[in-house]
Amino acid sequence: MHKLLYALALGVVGAGIVHIAILLLLPDFSERDAWSRLEGSVDMFNMTRIDNTRVANVLHRSADPFFQVAACRFNLEDGYAHITAKGDVPFWSVSVYDRSGQNIYSFNDRISTQRALDFVVVTPEQMIDVRKELPETLTSSVFVEADMDEGIALVRAFVPESSWEPAITSYIGSLNCRQE
């Protein structure tokens, strides 16, 4: 009887380990990851709302209805990525992902000067060049140093109540993603 219980317990633990391993390896083997989905419908350095009708079939809607979300694919081979927005919202957050979907850096409006969304994604080599002679346009920017060539910047803006919807929509519409 003890051998049977031991075999059942060992089988359950083994199955659990196999399932966890599959879940952790799934992004590496997936052909329809976020990068692939955006690549098929959005150009590089083009900030696109995730929840609009043009992209609705490509990416799933934001899981949280209190946030509006926009994404920008970027390539750092020919220059750094500079993302900005105009206006003021109650809360925004940014996540930078590499091409495989790993979160490289996350921050929110509490880290930037005057809560303005203005950040730059650079490679370590580009950071050395920028530090030598900092352009005037980048004096108040948050720098994200990432050792990667391609990535996705995901910006989320909080909508506390429906009266904020037009302001948040305008803010998301003002997002600018460009290569410099």
pTM above the 0.75 mark?
no
Give the domain CATH number at 57: 2.60.40
Residue 172 domain boundaries: 34-179
Asked if 12 and 69 sit in the same domain, the reply is no
Closest CA to 100 of 177, 34, 23: 34
* Domains in the chain, number: 2
Residues 4 and 86 in one domain: no
The reply to whether 46 and 23 lie within a common domain is no
What residues form DSSP beta bridges with 81?
121, 179
Tens digits of residue pLDDT in 104-121: 889 888 887 777 888 989
Provide the pLDDT confidence category of residue 53 given band limits of 50, 70 and 90.
Answer: very low
Q: How far apart are CA 25 and CA 38, in angstroms?
A: 21
Is there a single domain that holds both residue 25 and residue 72? no
Same-domain check for residues 9 and 68? no
